[in-house]
Structure 1
Amino acid sequence: MSDEEWERFLRETVKDTTGAPVEPSARAREVARRLREHPRQAEGWRTYSPARPRRRKVWYVTGLVALVALLVALFPQQIVGWFGGDDGGQDGAPLAAESEAPREAPDAEPDLRPTLAEPFRGSPAARWADGAAGITVPPAKATGWMNAAQVERALKQSRDFLVAAGLDSDVLRGERPTKAIALLNPHQKDVQDYLRTALSSKKPDPDTDPLLLFSRFRPEQTRLVGDVVKTRGRLTYREGKRGAVEVTADVTFVYPVTPAADSGRDAEVIRTIVRRKVVMSWDDPAKVITEPGTMSLVSYALDMTNGGCSGPTGYFVPPFGTADEQSTDDDRLIDPYDRSKPVDANDGTTSADDDCATATRS
């Protein structure tokens, strides 16, 4: 081969290398493999594929709707009450226990007349607990001369006294409050004198009215509607004089009653509302003469609505038929369900009817 031919061969060889195959990189080989295994049609610049629906969110919504429907089916009145539909009937959502002094009166309820079937209709008491369950007892801790276990027992017996004095069915019918008296210190002379006179006199005076401590109705005049008395209140305690454990009870009782002689379906129903504040002293027997399991009374106070305002009789006298005669010279109005206001202290010398006023609701 001549020199000219060799030079031409070299020039042509270098020129043709631009089209020679090149070994692909590892990344390029991986992309090519994925495209072979999952071919995909190219999209035009004006086209788009909508996102796949998220079925999980749809399931959440469906589950929530089903749960609400189940709750409505099982608890219709409670669910309606959550959304402002409570009509003040007995099926309203129960209130939580009262653990501290309320700051305001309960909201106004629809003005609905109580009936034999729904004696608490149209009243805040419709959402209160029944009987002793409405009296909150705080946790016990060592106080004064008592250890925690002794304080717990004193709190229980304090509530037992309230139950025996204000909820016992026999006492409500006017019988002797034997269980309540058994919890009182028999060596406290002034209280024993009061009990002896109050429970034996047919015409008690303001100082010896048994209503100051016990709830009573004349069975020939008044009949309780059903077996439920609504209550709301609490016990508190502190160290008192001479290391005693001083327990204070502040409880409101709501008694639905009807005339004893009227047994018709449309019989009149009235609610007698009684708020009691009783201070009890569980004394150290090393310092005060007492008996085991008994306490001394420090003070007691009473506010009542629809219980009579014409002088003490020893029994609550609901104003059936006509409005009770109440003294309104001072134009003082009282909401009997307002537990945010204090009950005036009473050492037993103030009558239950010394301070009659007009109730704004019952």
Structure 2
Amino acid sequence: MGERGGPIVGKGGESIPDEEWERFLRDAEAGAEGAPEEPSARARMVARRLREESGPPEPWRGHRPVRRRGGKGWYVAGLLVAVALVVVALAPGWVAGWFGGGDGGGEGAPLGVESARPDQPPPTAAAAAGPTLEQPFRGSPAARWADGTAGIGVPEARATGWMSKGQVARALEKTRDFLAASSLDPAVLRGERPGKAIASINPHQRDVRDYLAAAFRAPSRENDPLLLFSRFDAAEVRLAGDVVKTRGRITYREGRLGAVEVTTDVTYVYPVVRAAAGSDEVVRTIVRREVVMSWDDPEKVVTEPGTFSLVSYKGDTTNGGCDTFTGYFAPEFGAERATSRPEDGPAVDPYDRSTSVGTRVREGGDAGCGTATRS
């Protein structure tokens, strides 16, 4: 299943066959000669970032055991690469009382682009009907969010580290292109391999290289492609329409060795239905990812033009499957939820962007599958 999908795309946009990609992975084991440093997990940079955060440090590539799945809705608190949380939402009818007007119910004018972390979650109000094929975001705060990359705030560029103002502007543009290629591309959402997104990642990062190869060959808890890419099994589900709602922002600062360190924090809302013809029950899979990347100085770090090095990536997902590692999101519909066993994990609002992903997992501790308060 990990080999299914589109080809890897090279820097010029041309397709790279899978066998050439595998050969590249083998040939690249020796790295590039003559460069001062080869990026790996960029452990020292991650360590510095973690020292600046409150709470216990989180490993870049580790995980906490996930409890057996169960319950009407699930929230997985675990560390996978940096951390992965998985939540499966309650049936819309059970939580209809939490939806309504204002930001929580889809009423009112569209929201402006997010420029800073909000200080509270979107409000909830009176009851509203759930999603339909015609209105897949009804009853959700996402009804007021922008479509696609329009919902991702990009800051003004300024000279930073080794980059000029113009170079920073291009790095920010390429960063948003990566988010689109990894989480919004229609072919990738249908389950194809995210070749264009992979081509944006520095191929000289040995640990990331190994993770990507394993994630698509044999997805597992340790090597889950959904930590970076949004994919659904086209044989099981399809998008309800062609719109994905987003809300988030990009920030940057000078990083290690004069690099430009860019942080992306974006929530994506995917309305889906079963793949079978005539299906009309709409559910939503909600994914929030925080990806930190480093646009490195090629005179100090082994890199390729137009690529970035991954520093860390964290995420939490609602209604994407709990403790399942197939390489695809597995949203549940009414029939599955009706037979699920209640779970005693923490209650989580997937639309709450007032705290970081790291803070959320620390507060969740080792709790396994919990309940999403709304979908």
TM-score, normalising length: structure 2: 0.68
Q: Which residue of 2 aligns with 1:99?
A: 115
Structure 1 equivalent of residue 250 of structure 2: 235
Task: State the Cα deviation string for residues 57-88 of structure 1 (Å, max 9, x = none).
Answer: xxxxxxxxxxxxxxxxxxxxxxxxxxx97697
- 1:249 maps to 264
Q: Does 1:356 align with 2:373?
A: no
1:328 is aligned to 2:352? no
Letter in structure 2 aligned against 1:298: V
Q: Give deviations 1:73-115, integer Å, cap 9, x for gaps.
A: xxxxxxxxxxx97697767410011000000000114342100
Letter in 2 for 1:296: S
| Amino acid in the other structure paired with 2:316 | D
Contact 1:326 1:357 in 2 (8 A): no
User: Residues 354 and 259 from structure 1, CA distance in 2 versus in 1: closer, same or farther, beyond 3 angstroms?
Assistant: farther
Q: What is the aligned-residue identity percentage? A: 63
Native 8 Å contact 1:300 1:345 kept in 2: no
d(CA) in 2 for partners of 1:327 and 1:245? 45
Partner Cα distance (1:137, 1:101) in 2: 14
1:273 counterpart = 2:282: no
Q: Structure 2 unaligned runs (5+)?
A: 1-99, 361-365
Instruction: Give the length in aligned residue pairs.
Output: 268
SS class of match (1:322): helix
Partner-residue secondary structure (3-state), 2:170: helix
Change (3 A) 1:250 1:223: same
Q: Within the alignment, does 1:213 sit opposite 2:228 as a pair?
A: yes
The 3-state SS of whatever aligns with 2:109 is coil
- 8 Å CA contact 1:310, 1:325 repeated in 2: no
Corresponding residue for 1:150? Answer: 167
Q: Is the 8 A contact 1:88 1:124 kept in 2?
A: yes
Residue in 1 aligned with 2:355?
A: 341
When residues 325 and 147 of structure 1 are mapped into structure 2, their CA distance, relative to the original with a 3 A threshold, is farther
Q: In the TM superposition, what is the alpha-carbon distance from 1:341 to its structure 2 partner?
A: 1.2
Q: Is the 8 A contact 2:102 2:123 kept in 1?
A: no
1:290-341 deviations in whole A, cap 9, x for unaligned?
0110000000001000101132221100111232858833x31000000001
**Which one-letter code corresponds to 2:287 in the other structure?**
V
For 1:208 and 1:137, locate their aligned partners in 2 and report how far apart those are by CA, in whole Å.
Answer: 30
Give the structure, 1 or 2, with the largest relative contact order (CA under 8 Å, sep 6 or more).
Answer: 2
Measure the CA separation in 1 of the matches of 2:264 and 2:359. Answer: 12
What is the CA RMSD across the aligned residues, in angstroms?
2.2
Q: Which has the larger radius of gyration?
A: 1
Whole-Å separation in 1 of the counterparts to 2:325 and 2:367? 10
Distance 2:236 2:138 in 1: 23
1:287 aligns with 2:300: yes
Could you tell me how far 1:356 is from its partner in structure 2? 3.3
1:109-164 Cα deviation digits (max 9, x unpaired): 43421000000000000000000100100000011110110011111111111110
- Structure 1: any 5+ residue segments left out of the alignment? 1-83, 347-352
- Which residue pairs with 2:309 in the alignment? 296
List aligned pairs for 1:1-362, cutoff 5 A: 92-109=108-125, 110-201=127-218, 204-264=219-279, 267-320=280-333, 321-323=335-337, 325=340, 328-329=343-344, 331-344=345-358, 355-362=368-375
Change in Cα spacing, 1:345 to 1:243, as seen in structure 2 (3 Å) is farther
1:309–1:325 contact (8 Å) kept in structure 2 = no
